[in-house]
Amino acid sequence: MVKTIGHFIGGKHVAGTSGRFADIYNPNTGEVSAKVALASAAEVGAAVDNAKAAQPAWAAKNPQFRARVMMRFLDLAAKHREEVAHLISMEHGKTIPDALGDLQRGVEVAEFAVGIPHLLKGEYTDGAGPGIDMYSMRQPLGVAAGITPFNFPAMIPLWKACPAIACGNAFILKPSERDPSCPMRLAELFLEAGLPEGILNVVNGDKEAVDAILDDPGIAAVGFVGSTPIAHYVYSRATASGKRAQCFGGAKNHMVVMPDADMNQAVDALIGAGFGSAGERCMAISVAVPVGEATADALIDKLVPRVEKLKVGLSTDREADYGPLVTKQALERVKGYIDLGIKEGATLKVDGRGFRMQGYDNGFFLGGSLFDHVTKDMRIYKEEIFGPVLSVVRAKTYEESVALVNDHEFGNGTAIYTRDGDTARDFASKIQIGMVGINVPIPVPLAYHTFGGWKRSGFGDLNQHGPDAVRFYTRTKTVTARWPSGIKEGAQFSIPTMR
Ligand code: NAD
Protein backbone atom coordinates (compact mmCIF):
# COMPACT_ATOMS: atom_id res chain seq x y z
CA MET A 1 0.00 0.00 0.00
CA VAL A 2 1.48 3.37 -0.99
CA LYS A 3 1.10 6.25 1.47
CA THR A 4 -1.58 8.89 0.95
CA ILE A 5 -0.90 12.59 1.31
CA GLY A 6 -3.84 14.74 2.41
CA HIS A 7 -3.95 18.45 3.23
CA PHE A 8 -2.58 20.67 6.02
CA ILE A 9 -5.42 22.81 7.30
CA GLY A 10 -5.66 24.72 10.58
CA GLY A 11 -2.28 23.37 11.67
CA LYS A 12 -3.31 19.72 11.26
CA HIS A 13 -2.93 17.00 8.67
CA VAL A 14 -6.36 16.15 7.34
CA ALA A 15 -7.28 13.35 4.97
CA GLY A 16 -8.82 14.25 1.62
CA THR A 17 -12.57 13.70 1.39
CA SER A 18 -13.20 14.24 -2.33
CA GLY A 19 -12.40 10.62 -3.21
CA ARG A 20 -10.08 11.86 -5.98
CA PHE A 21 -6.33 11.21 -5.92
CA ALA A 22 -3.30 11.70 -8.18
CA ASP A 23 -0.32 9.37 -8.38
CA ILE A 24 3.12 10.59 -7.35
CA TYR A 25 6.07 8.84 -8.94
CA ASN A 26 9.60 8.03 -7.97
CA PRO A 27 11.13 9.32 -11.22
CA ASN A 28 14.19 7.09 -10.80
CA THR A 29 12.18 3.87 -10.92
CA GLY A 30 8.93 4.99 -12.54
CA GLU A 31 7.00 3.44 -9.63
CA VAL A 32 4.08 5.10 -7.88
CA SER A 33 5.47 6.19 -4.50
CA ALA A 34 2.40 7.89 -3.03
CA LYS A 35 -1.05 9.21 -3.80
CA VAL A 36 -2.04 12.79 -3.16
CA ALA A 37 -5.59 13.85 -2.40
CA LEU A 38 -7.18 16.30 -4.84
CA ALA A 39 -9.27 18.79 -2.93
CA SER A 40 -12.88 19.59 -3.70
CA ALA A 41 -14.23 23.14 -3.59
CA ALA A 42 -15.64 22.35 -0.12
CA GLU A 43 -12.19 21.40 1.17
CA VAL A 44 -10.72 24.63 -0.22
CA GLY A 45 -13.59 26.45 1.51
CA ALA A 46 -12.68 24.81 4.83
CA ALA A 47 -9.09 25.99 4.48
CA VAL A 48 -10.24 29.52 3.68
CA ASP A 49 -12.53 29.51 6.75
CA ASN A 50 -9.60 28.43 8.94
CA ALA A 51 -7.36 31.10 7.44
CA LYS A 52 -10.00 33.82 7.82
CA ALA A 53 -10.56 32.94 11.46
CA ALA A 54 -6.84 32.92 12.30
CA GLN A 55 -5.74 36.01 10.33
CA PRO A 56 -6.98 38.97 12.47
CA ALA A 57 -5.02 37.84 15.56
CA TRP A 58 -1.93 37.28 13.41
CA ALA A 59 -2.26 40.71 11.81
CA ALA A 60 -2.61 42.23 15.28
CA LYS A 61 0.78 40.85 16.37
CA ASN A 62 3.55 43.36 16.05
CA PRO A 63 5.74 42.95 12.96
CA GLN A 64 8.81 41.86 14.94
CA PHE A 65 6.80 39.04 16.53
CA ARG A 66 6.04 37.76 13.04
CA ALA A 67 9.66 38.24 12.00
CA ARG A 68 10.81 36.10 14.92
CA VAL A 69 8.66 33.21 13.66
CA MET A 70 10.54 33.54 10.37
CA MET A 71 13.84 33.44 12.26
CA ARG A 72 12.88 30.22 14.03
CA PHE A 73 11.74 28.78 10.70
CA LEU A 74 15.18 29.59 9.28
CA ASP A 75 16.80 27.55 12.07
CA LEU A 76 14.51 24.61 11.39
CA ALA A 77 15.00 24.81 7.63
CA ALA A 78 18.77 24.66 8.19
CA LYS A 79 18.42 21.72 10.58
CA HIS A 80 16.22 19.73 8.17
CA ARG A 81 17.82 20.75 4.89
CA GLU A 82 19.06 17.28 3.92
CA GLU A 83 15.71 15.71 4.75
CA VAL A 84 13.83 18.33 2.69
CA ALA A 85 16.28 17.96 -0.20
CA HIS A 86 15.70 14.20 -0.16
CA LEU A 87 11.91 14.69 -0.35
CA ILE A 88 12.37 17.01 -3.36
CA SER A 89 14.78 14.72 -5.09
CA MET A 90 12.57 11.62 -4.73
CA GLU A 91 9.49 13.27 -6.26
CA HIS A 92 10.93 15.87 -8.64
CA GLY A 93 14.04 13.96 -9.77
CA LYS A 94 16.55 16.79 -9.32
CA THR A 95 19.86 15.85 -7.70
CA ILE A 96 20.40 16.41 -3.97
CA PRO A 97 22.85 19.33 -4.46
CA ASP A 98 20.33 20.96 -6.80
CA ALA A 99 17.48 20.28 -4.34
CA LEU A 100 19.55 21.91 -1.58
CA GLY A 101 19.84 24.97 -3.86
CA ASP A 102 16.05 24.90 -4.44
CA LEU A 103 15.53 25.10 -0.67
CA GLN A 104 18.29 27.69 -0.21
CA ARG A 105 16.85 30.11 -2.77
CA GLY A 106 13.50 29.85 -0.97
CA VAL A 107 15.07 30.26 2.46
CA GLU A 108 16.68 33.48 1.25
CA VAL A 109 13.19 34.94 0.86
CA ALA A 110 12.41 33.89 4.45
CA GLU A 111 15.60 35.78 5.43
CA PHE A 112 14.34 38.79 3.48
CA ALA A 113 10.98 38.47 5.27
CA VAL A 114 12.75 38.84 8.64
CA GLY A 115 13.44 42.45 7.58
CA ILE A 116 9.89 43.13 6.36
CA PRO A 117 8.99 45.22 9.45
CA HIS A 118 11.25 47.88 7.96
CA LEU A 119 9.28 47.88 4.69
CA LEU A 120 5.92 47.95 6.47
CA LYS A 121 6.69 51.36 7.94
CA GLY A 122 4.40 53.96 6.46
CA GLU A 123 5.05 57.56 5.50
CA TYR A 124 4.30 60.64 7.53
CA THR A 125 3.93 64.32 6.68
CA ASP A 126 3.99 66.62 9.66
CA GLY A 127 1.98 69.76 8.84
CA ALA A 128 0.45 68.77 5.50
CA GLY A 129 -2.00 71.66 5.96
CA PRO A 130 -3.02 74.02 8.76
CA GLY A 131 -2.99 71.79 11.86
CA ILE A 132 -3.13 68.77 9.59
CA ASP A 133 -0.87 65.73 9.56
CA MET A 134 -1.02 63.01 6.97
CA TYR A 135 0.24 59.46 7.24
CA SER A 136 -0.02 56.24 5.35
CA MET A 137 0.17 52.69 6.58
CA ARG A 138 0.48 49.32 4.93
CA GLN A 139 -2.07 46.76 6.07
CA PRO A 140 -2.38 43.09 5.17
CA LEU A 141 -5.00 42.00 2.66
CA GLY A 142 -6.46 39.15 4.72
CA VAL A 143 -6.16 35.76 3.07
CA ALA A 144 -3.84 35.28 0.08
CA ALA A 145 -3.25 32.15 -2.00
CA GLY A 146 -0.35 30.74 -4.00
CA ILE A 147 -0.56 28.18 -6.80
CA THR A 148 2.86 26.76 -7.59
CA PRO A 149 4.58 24.55 -10.20
CA PHE A 150 6.37 21.22 -9.84
CA ASN A 151 9.85 22.42 -10.73
CA PHE A 152 10.75 24.28 -7.51
CA PRO A 153 8.73 22.61 -4.74
CA ALA A 154 10.60 24.48 -1.97
CA MET A 155 11.67 27.78 -3.52
CA ILE A 156 8.45 28.99 -5.10
CA PRO A 157 6.09 28.09 -2.22
CA LEU A 158 8.51 29.98 0.09
CA TRP A 159 8.69 32.95 -2.31
CA LYS A 160 4.91 33.18 -2.09
CA ALA A 161 4.20 32.32 1.53
CA CYS A 162 6.98 34.07 3.48
CA PRO A 163 6.33 37.69 2.45
CA ALA A 164 2.55 37.15 2.67
CA ILE A 165 2.80 35.81 6.21
CA ALA A 166 5.38 38.34 7.39
CA CYS A 167 3.03 41.12 6.20
CA GLY A 168 0.26 39.75 8.45
CA ASN A 169 -1.80 37.70 5.98
CA ALA A 170 -2.96 34.12 6.24
CA PHE A 171 -1.96 31.96 3.29
CA ILE A 172 -3.42 29.06 1.30
CA LEU A 173 -0.80 27.19 -0.71
CA LYS A 174 -1.89 24.93 -3.57
CA PRO A 175 1.38 23.26 -4.59
CA SER A 176 1.93 21.08 -7.63
CA GLU A 177 0.23 17.72 -7.33
CA ARG A 178 3.40 16.08 -8.71
CA ASP A 179 5.68 16.78 -5.71
CA PRO A 180 3.66 17.86 -2.66
CA SER A 181 5.78 16.23 0.11
CA CYS A 182 8.25 19.11 0.38
CA PRO A 183 5.64 21.89 0.74
CA MET A 184 3.77 19.77 3.32
CA ARG A 185 6.98 19.39 5.33
CA LEU A 186 7.70 23.13 5.12
CA ALA A 187 4.23 23.84 6.55
CA GLU A 188 5.00 21.50 9.48
CA LEU A 189 8.26 23.34 10.11
CA PHE A 190 6.43 26.68 10.18
CA LEU A 191 4.06 25.32 12.79
CA GLU A 192 7.03 24.11 14.85
CA ALA A 193 8.55 27.60 14.47
CA GLY A 194 5.51 29.05 16.25
CA LEU A 195 3.30 30.09 13.34
CA PRO A 196 -0.29 29.98 14.64
CA GLU A 197 -2.58 27.29 13.27
CA GLY A 198 -4.49 28.36 10.19
CA ILE A 199 -1.95 30.96 9.00
CA LEU A 200 -0.32 28.61 6.50
CA ASN A 201 -2.61 26.00 4.98
CA VAL A 202 -1.64 23.57 2.25
CA VAL A 203 -4.44 22.34 0.05
CA ASN A 204 -3.41 19.75 -2.50
CA GLY A 205 -5.30 19.49 -5.73
CA ASP A 206 -5.71 20.14 -9.41
CA LYS A 207 -7.92 22.40 -11.54
CA GLU A 208 -10.90 21.89 -9.22
CA ALA A 209 -8.99 23.29 -6.23
CA VAL A 210 -7.50 26.08 -8.32
CA ASP A 211 -10.92 27.15 -9.61
CA ALA A 212 -12.28 27.12 -6.06
CA ILE A 213 -9.44 29.42 -4.99
CA LEU A 214 -10.05 31.75 -7.93
CA ASP A 215 -13.76 32.06 -7.17
CA ASP A 216 -13.64 32.21 -3.35
CA PRO A 217 -14.58 35.73 -2.20
CA GLY A 218 -12.63 35.13 1.03
CA ILE A 219 -9.32 35.19 -0.85
CA ALA A 220 -8.01 38.67 -1.64
CA ALA A 221 -4.93 37.90 -3.74
CA VAL A 222 -3.56 35.07 -5.85
CA GLY A 223 0.02 34.44 -6.85
CA PHE A 224 0.65 31.86 -9.55
CA VAL A 225 3.73 30.30 -11.14
CA GLY A 226 3.49 27.70 -13.90
CA SER A 227 2.98 27.40 -17.64
CA THR A 228 1.77 30.38 -19.69
CA PRO A 229 -1.70 29.15 -20.70
CA ILE A 230 -2.57 28.42 -17.06
CA ALA A 231 -0.92 31.65 -15.85
CA HIS A 232 -3.11 33.62 -18.26
CA TYR A 233 -6.21 31.67 -17.25
CA VAL A 234 -5.55 32.18 -13.54
CA TYR A 235 -4.84 35.88 -14.06
CA SER A 236 -8.05 36.43 -16.05
CA ARG A 237 -10.32 34.52 -13.69
CA ALA A 238 -8.77 35.89 -10.48
CA THR A 239 -8.92 39.50 -11.63
CA ALA A 240 -12.46 39.02 -12.98
CA SER A 241 -13.51 38.06 -9.47
CA GLY A 242 -11.86 41.20 -8.09
CA LYS A 243 -8.65 39.72 -6.70
CA ARG A 244 -5.15 41.00 -6.97
CA ALA A 245 -3.14 38.63 -9.13
CA GLN A 246 0.45 38.13 -10.17
CA CYS A 247 0.92 35.17 -12.51
CA PHE A 248 4.24 34.03 -13.91
CA GLY A 249 4.42 31.77 -16.93
CA GLY A 250 6.73 29.86 -19.25
CA ALA A 251 10.02 30.85 -20.80
CA LYS A 252 12.44 30.48 -23.68
CA ASN A 253 15.68 31.99 -22.45
CA HIS A 254 18.30 32.94 -25.02
CA MET A 255 22.01 33.34 -24.41
CA VAL A 256 23.76 35.54 -26.95
CA VAL A 257 27.42 34.63 -27.48
CA MET A 258 29.45 37.46 -29.01
CA PRO A 259 32.61 36.76 -31.06
CA ASP A 260 34.74 38.30 -28.28
CA ALA A 261 33.28 36.11 -25.51
CA ASP A 262 35.50 33.83 -23.47
CA MET A 263 34.37 30.70 -25.31
CA ASN A 264 35.22 28.24 -22.52
CA GLN A 265 33.27 30.30 -20.02
CA ALA A 266 30.32 30.54 -22.44
CA VAL A 267 30.32 26.76 -22.99
CA ASP A 268 30.43 26.04 -19.24
CA ALA A 269 27.54 28.44 -18.79
CA LEU A 270 25.46 26.81 -21.54
CA ILE A 271 26.07 23.31 -20.23
CA GLY A 272 25.13 24.18 -16.64
CA ALA A 273 22.21 26.47 -17.45
CA GLY A 274 20.90 24.34 -20.31
CA PHE A 275 21.04 20.91 -18.71
CA GLY A 276 21.03 21.45 -14.91
CA SER A 277 17.84 20.05 -13.37
CA ALA A 278 17.25 18.30 -16.72
CA GLY A 279 16.33 21.68 -18.22
CA GLU A 280 13.23 21.85 -16.00
CA ARG A 281 13.86 25.43 -14.88
CA CYS A 282 12.03 28.56 -15.94
CA MET A 283 15.42 30.29 -16.06
CA ALA A 284 17.16 27.48 -17.98
CA ILE A 285 18.97 28.60 -21.12
CA SER A 286 17.27 26.72 -23.93
CA VAL A 287 18.56 28.74 -26.90
CA ALA A 288 22.18 29.69 -27.63
CA VAL A 289 22.60 32.51 -30.15
CA PRO A 290 26.18 32.71 -31.41
CA VAL A 291 26.86 35.87 -33.43
CA GLY A 292 28.69 35.17 -36.70
CA GLU A 293 29.40 31.84 -38.42
CA ALA A 294 32.89 31.52 -36.93
CA THR A 295 31.54 31.96 -33.39
CA ALA A 296 28.81 29.42 -34.11
CA ASP A 297 31.23 26.82 -35.50
CA ALA A 298 33.60 27.26 -32.55
CA LEU A 299 30.71 26.99 -30.10
CA ILE A 300 29.28 23.84 -31.68
CA ASP A 301 32.75 22.21 -31.74
CA LYS A 302 33.09 22.76 -28.00
CA LEU A 303 29.47 21.98 -27.09
CA VAL A 304 29.13 18.61 -28.82
CA PRO A 305 31.64 16.65 -26.68
CA ARG A 306 30.39 18.32 -23.51
CA VAL A 307 26.75 17.38 -24.20
CA GLU A 308 27.82 13.83 -25.12
CA LYS A 309 29.66 13.51 -21.80
CA LEU A 310 26.86 14.78 -19.55
CA LYS A 311 26.49 12.47 -16.56
CA VAL A 312 22.83 11.57 -16.20
CA GLY A 313 22.22 9.72 -12.95
CA LEU A 314 19.87 8.83 -10.15
CA SER A 315 18.53 11.85 -8.32
CA THR A 316 20.33 10.57 -5.22
CA ASP A 317 23.69 10.46 -7.04
CA ARG A 318 25.48 13.61 -5.86
CA GLU A 319 27.99 13.31 -8.70
CA ALA A 320 25.34 13.30 -11.45
CA ASP A 321 24.92 16.42 -13.62
CA TYR A 322 21.18 15.89 -13.63
CA GLY A 323 18.59 13.25 -12.82
CA PRO A 324 15.38 11.97 -14.41
CA LEU A 325 12.49 14.13 -15.62
CA VAL A 326 9.50 14.49 -13.35
CA THR A 327 7.02 12.14 -15.06
CA LYS A 328 6.73 9.76 -17.98
CA GLN A 329 4.43 12.29 -19.63
CA ALA A 330 7.17 14.95 -19.39
CA LEU A 331 9.70 12.47 -20.82
CA GLU A 332 7.46 11.62 -23.77
CA ARG A 333 6.71 15.30 -24.42
CA VAL A 334 10.41 16.23 -24.57
CA LYS A 335 11.22 13.23 -26.79
CA GLY A 336 8.36 14.33 -29.03
CA TYR A 337 10.01 17.74 -29.43
CA ILE A 338 13.29 16.07 -30.47
CA ASP A 339 11.40 14.06 -33.13
CA LEU A 340 9.70 17.26 -34.24
CA GLY A 341 12.99 19.19 -34.49
CA ILE A 342 14.33 16.59 -36.92
CA LYS A 343 11.14 16.81 -39.00
CA GLU A 344 11.36 20.59 -39.02
CA GLY A 345 14.85 20.43 -40.50
CA ALA A 346 17.10 21.33 -37.55
CA THR A 347 20.40 19.45 -37.30
CA LEU A 348 20.45 17.08 -34.32
CA LYS A 349 24.11 17.10 -33.29
CA VAL A 350 23.64 15.06 -30.08
CA ASP A 351 20.68 12.74 -29.60
CA GLY A 352 19.75 11.92 -25.98
CA ARG A 353 16.78 9.71 -26.84
CA GLY A 354 18.74 6.48 -26.70
CA PHE A 355 19.97 6.97 -23.15
CA ARG A 356 19.30 4.02 -20.80
CA MET A 357 19.96 4.02 -17.06
CA GLN A 358 21.16 0.52 -16.30
CA GLY A 359 18.89 -1.22 -13.79
CA TYR A 360 16.33 1.60 -14.02
CA ASP A 361 14.65 0.94 -17.33
CA ASN A 362 11.35 2.42 -16.20
CA GLY A 363 12.89 5.65 -14.83
CA PHE A 364 12.19 8.92 -16.64
CA PHE A 365 15.75 9.46 -17.88
CA LEU A 366 16.78 11.32 -21.01
CA GLY A 367 20.26 12.08 -22.33
CA GLY A 368 21.27 15.58 -23.30
CA SER A 369 20.37 16.71 -26.85
CA LEU A 370 21.78 19.48 -28.99
CA PHE A 371 20.24 21.02 -32.11
CA ASP A 372 22.10 23.27 -34.53
CA HIS A 373 20.59 25.39 -37.35
CA VAL A 374 17.33 25.96 -35.50
CA THR A 375 15.30 28.76 -37.09
CA LYS A 376 12.70 31.24 -35.90
CA ASP A 377 9.77 29.58 -37.63
CA MET A 378 10.28 26.14 -36.03
CA ARG A 379 7.99 24.99 -33.22
CA ILE A 380 11.02 23.71 -31.28
CA TYR A 381 12.14 27.35 -31.19
CA LYS A 382 8.80 28.96 -30.49
CA GLU A 383 7.58 26.58 -27.77
CA GLU A 384 8.97 25.80 -24.33
CA ILE A 385 10.45 22.27 -24.33
CA PHE A 386 11.32 22.14 -20.61
CA GLY A 387 13.85 19.33 -20.91
CA PRO A 388 17.57 18.67 -21.51
CA VAL A 389 17.56 20.04 -25.05
CA LEU A 390 19.66 23.01 -26.19
CA SER A 391 18.95 24.72 -29.51
CA VAL A 392 21.48 26.82 -31.40
CA VAL A 393 20.07 29.64 -33.53
CA ARG A 394 22.79 31.32 -35.58
CA ALA A 395 22.63 35.12 -35.89
CA LYS A 396 24.62 37.08 -38.46
CA THR A 397 24.93 40.25 -36.39
CA TYR A 398 24.49 41.52 -32.84
CA GLU A 399 21.42 43.51 -34.00
CA GLU A 400 19.86 40.33 -35.39
CA SER A 401 20.42 38.55 -32.06
CA VAL A 402 18.71 41.37 -30.13
CA ALA A 403 15.75 41.36 -32.55
CA LEU A 404 15.45 37.58 -32.17
CA VAL A 405 15.23 37.77 -28.37
CA ASN A 406 12.85 40.73 -28.49
CA ASP A 407 10.51 39.08 -31.02
CA HIS A 408 10.01 35.95 -28.91
CA GLU A 409 6.66 35.78 -27.09
CA PHE A 410 8.34 34.92 -23.78
CA GLY A 411 10.42 37.37 -21.78
CA ASN A 412 11.60 35.71 -18.61
CA GLY A 413 15.42 35.66 -18.63
CA THR A 414 18.29 36.18 -21.04
CA ALA A 415 22.09 36.47 -21.00
CA ILE A 416 24.90 37.85 -23.08
CA TYR A 417 28.49 36.64 -23.10
CA THR A 418 30.93 39.32 -24.19
CA ARG A 419 34.04 41.12 -23.00
CA ASP A 420 32.89 44.42 -24.46
CA GLY A 421 31.29 46.85 -22.01
CA ASP A 422 29.52 48.90 -24.69
CA THR A 423 27.81 45.84 -26.12
CA ALA A 424 26.80 44.56 -22.69
CA ARG A 425 25.37 47.93 -21.71
CA ASP A 426 23.46 48.28 -24.98
CA PHE A 427 22.05 44.75 -24.55
CA ALA A 428 20.89 45.39 -20.97
CA SER A 429 19.18 48.58 -22.09
CA LYS A 430 17.46 47.38 -25.30
CA ILE A 431 16.45 43.84 -24.46
CA GLN A 432 12.73 43.25 -23.79
CA ILE A 433 13.21 40.72 -21.00
CA GLY A 434 12.60 40.88 -17.25
CA MET A 435 15.91 39.44 -15.99
CA VAL A 436 19.21 39.92 -17.77
CA GLY A 437 22.61 38.31 -17.16
CA ILE A 438 25.90 39.79 -18.34
CA ASN A 439 28.30 36.87 -18.37
CA VAL A 440 25.86 35.27 -15.90
CA PRO A 441 23.71 32.51 -17.42
CA ILE A 442 20.94 32.22 -14.80
CA PRO A 443 20.34 35.76 -13.54
CA VAL A 444 17.83 34.94 -10.78
CA PRO A 445 17.79 38.10 -8.66
CA LEU A 446 18.48 37.79 -4.95
CA ALA A 447 15.61 37.94 -2.45
CA TYR A 448 15.86 41.70 -1.82
CA HIS A 449 15.49 42.46 -5.55
CA THR A 450 12.43 41.33 -7.44
CA PHE A 451 11.88 38.40 -9.80
CA GLY A 452 9.56 38.56 -12.79
CA GLY A 453 9.39 38.07 -16.54
CA TRP A 454 7.99 40.31 -19.28
CA LYS A 455 5.65 39.64 -22.20
CA ARG A 456 3.85 36.28 -21.92
CA SER A 457 6.12 35.19 -19.07
CA GLY A 458 4.33 37.37 -16.55
CA PHE A 459 0.82 38.76 -16.04
CA GLY A 460 0.21 41.46 -13.43
CA ASP A 461 2.02 44.55 -12.29
CA LEU A 462 4.21 43.50 -9.40
CA ASN A 463 7.09 41.03 -9.26
CA GLN A 464 7.84 38.31 -6.75
CA HIS A 465 9.89 38.89 -3.56
CA GLY A 466 11.84 42.05 -2.80
CA PRO A 467 9.90 45.30 -2.18
CA ASP A 468 7.25 44.34 -4.77
CA ALA A 469 6.16 41.41 -2.58
CA VAL A 470 5.38 43.80 0.27
CA ARG A 471 3.40 46.00 -2.12
CA PHE A 472 1.52 42.97 -3.44
CA TYR A 473 0.59 41.54 -0.04
CA THR A 474 -0.44 44.82 1.60
CA ARG A 475 -2.65 47.75 0.77
CA THR A 476 -2.01 51.35 1.60
CA LYS A 477 -4.30 53.39 3.79
CA THR A 478 -3.71 57.12 4.06
CA VAL A 479 -4.99 59.06 7.07
CA THR A 480 -5.45 62.83 7.17
CA ALA A 481 -5.77 64.05 10.76
CA ARG A 482 -6.66 67.37 12.35
CA TRP A 483 -7.55 67.68 16.01
CA PRO A 484 -10.41 70.01 17.09
CA SER A 485 -8.08 72.74 18.38
CA GLY A 486 -6.78 73.12 14.83
CA ILE A 487 -10.23 73.83 13.29
CA LYS A 488 -10.67 77.52 12.55
CA GLU A 489 -13.06 77.73 9.61
CA GLY A 490 -16.71 76.82 9.05
CA ALA A 491 -18.19 74.48 6.45
CA GLN A 492 -16.24 74.33 3.21
CA PHE A 493 -18.11 73.51 0.03
CA SER A 494 -15.29 73.45 -2.47
CA ILE A 495 -12.74 70.65 -2.69
CA PRO A 496 -10.25 71.03 0.17
CA THR A 497 -6.94 72.47 -0.93
CA MET A 498 -4.04 73.01 1.38
CA ARG A 499 -2.24 76.18 0.43
P1 NAD B 1 1.52 23.92 -14.80
O2 NAD B 1 1.03 25.16 -15.42
O3 NAD B 1 1.14 22.62 -15.40
O4 NAD B 1 1.03 23.84 -13.26
C5 NAD B 1 1.22 24.92 -12.38
C6 NAD B 1 0.10 24.89 -11.34
O7 NAD B 1 -1.15 25.07 -11.99
C8 NAD B 1 0.02 23.59 -10.56
O9 NAD B 1 -0.22 23.87 -9.21
C10 NAD B 1 -1.14 22.86 -11.22
O11 NAD B 1 -1.84 22.02 -10.32
C12 NAD B 1 -2.04 23.99 -11.68
N13 NAD B 1 -2.79 23.65 -12.91
C14 NAD B 1 -2.38 22.83 -13.91
N15 NAD B 1 -3.33 22.78 -14.88
C16 NAD B 1 -4.34 23.58 -14.47
C17 NAD B 1 -5.61 23.94 -15.05
N18 NAD B 1 -6.00 23.45 -16.23
N19 NAD B 1 -6.38 24.80 -14.37
C20 NAD B 1 -6.00 25.30 -13.19
N21 NAD B 1 -4.81 24.99 -12.60
C22 NAD B 1 -4.00 24.15 -13.22
O23 NAD B 1 3.12 24.06 -14.68
P24 NAD B 1 4.17 22.96 -14.23
O25 NAD B 1 4.30 21.92 -15.29
O26 NAD B 1 3.90 22.52 -12.84
O27 NAD B 1 5.50 23.85 -14.18
C28 NAD B 1 6.31 24.10 -15.29
C29 NAD B 1 5.99 25.44 -15.91
O30 NAD B 1 6.15 26.47 -14.94
C31 NAD B 1 6.94 25.82 -17.04
O32 NAD B 1 6.19 26.41 -18.05
C33 NAD B 1 7.89 26.82 -16.40
O34 NAD B 1 8.49 27.71 -17.30
C35 NAD B 1 6.96 27.52 -15.49
N36 NAD B 1 7.67 28.21 -14.42
C37 NAD B 1 7.73 29.57 -14.49
C38 NAD B 1 8.42 30.27 -13.52
C39 NAD B 1 8.48 31.77 -13.55
O40 NAD B 1 8.88 32.37 -12.55
N41 NAD B 1 8.11 32.40 -14.64
C42 NAD B 1 9.06 29.57 -12.48
C43 NAD B 1 8.97 28.18 -12.46
C44 NAD B 1 8.26 27.51 -13.43
**Per-residue model confidence (pLDDT) at position 487:** 65
Name the residue type at position 63.
P
By CB neighbour count within 10 A (0-12 exposed, 13-18 middle, 19+ buried), where does 104 fall? Answer: middle
Residue 441 CB: number of other CB atoms within 10 A? Answer: 24
> Ligand 1 test: best mutation among 94, 176, 178, most atoms within 8 Å of CB?
176
- Residue-by-residue pLDDT tens, the chain, 499 positions: 899 999 999 999 999 999 999 999 999 999 999 999 999 999 999 999 999 999 999 999 999 999 999 999 999 999 999 999 999 999 999 999 999 999 999 999 999 999 999 999 999 999 998 889 999 999 999 999 999 999 999 999 999 999 999 999 999 999 999 999 999 999 999 999 999 999 999 999 999 999 999 999 999 999 999 999 999 999 999 999 999 999 999 999 999 999 999 999 999 999 999 999 999 999 999 999 999 999 999 999 999 999 999 999 999 999 999 999 999 999 999 999 999 999 999 999 999 999 999 999 999 999 999 999 999 999 999 999 999 999 999 999 999 999 999 999 999 999 999 999 999 999 999 999 999 999 999 999 999 999 999 999 999 999 999 999 999 999 999 999 998 776 666 788 888 776 6
In sequence order, which residues have a C-beta less than 8 Å from that of residue 367 and are 6 or more positions away?
310, 312, 350, 351, 352, 353, 354, 355, 388
Closest by CA position to 208, among listed 216, 200, 219:
216
| Residue 286 CB less than 6 A away from ligand 1 | no
| Residue 176 CB less than 6 A away from ligand 1 | yes
pLDDT tens per residue, range 438-495: 999 999 999 999 999 999 999 999 999 999 999 999 999 999 999 877 666 678 888 8
Ligand 1 atom closest to the Cα of residue 147 is 9
Q: How far apart are CA 432 and CA 408, in angstroms?
A: 9
- For this structure, is 282 an active site residue? yes
Rg value, the chain, Cα? 25
Q: What separation in Å is there between the alpha carbon of 227 and the centre of ligand 1?
A: 4
Name the residue type at position 415.
A
User: Read out DSSP for 76-90?
Assistant: HHHHTHHHHHHHHHH
Q: How far apart are CA 241 and CA 133, in angstroms?
A: 36
Q: Whose CA is nearest to atom 43 of ligand 1?
A: 282
**Per-residue model confidence (pLDDT) at position 234:** 98
| Contact present, 425 and 431 (Cβ < 8 Å) | no
User: Read out DSSP for 376-436?
Assistant: TTSHHHHS---SSEEEE--BSSHHHHHHHHHHSSEESEEEEE-S-HHHHHHHHHH---SEE
The helix (run of H) or strand (run of E) holding residue 295 is helix 293-308
By CB neighbour count within 10 A (0-12 exposed, 13-18 middle, 19+ buried), where does 231 fall? Answer: buried
Domain 253-438 has CATH 3.30.565.10: no
**Per-residue model confidence (pLDDT) at position 486:** 60
| Residue 249 CB less than 6 A away from ligand 1 | yes
**Per-residue model confidence (pLDDT) at position 496:** 77
Ligand 1 atom closest to the Cα of residue 251 is 34
Residue 470 CB: number of other CB atoms within 10 A? Answer: 21
Q: What separation in Å is there between the alpha carbon of 178 and the centre of ligand 1?
A: 11
| Contact present, 174 and 148 (Cβ < 8 Å) | yes
Ligand 1 atom closest to the Cα of residue 177 is 11
Domain ranges of the chain: 3-249+457-479, 253-438
Closest by CA position to 246, among listed 486, 16, 484, 468:
468
b (16+ CB within 10 A) / e for 391-406: bbbbbeebeebbebbb
Angle between helices 155-166 and 181-192 (to 10 degrees): 30
pTM over 0.95: yes
| Residue 226 CB less than 6 A away from ligand 1 | yes
Q: What separation in Å is there between the alpha carbon of 57 and the centre of ligand 1?
A: 33
Q: Domain 3-249+457-479: which topology?
A: Aldehyde Dehydrogenase; Chain A, domain 1 (3.40.605)
Rounded (10°) CA dihedral 119, 121, 122, 123: -90
End-to-end, the C-alpha distance of the chain in Å comes to 76
Closest by CA position to 249, among listed 228, 224, 232:
228
| Contact present, 473 and 144 (Cβ < 8 Å) | yes
**Edge-to-edge strands, sheet with 474-482:** 123-129, 132-140, 474-482
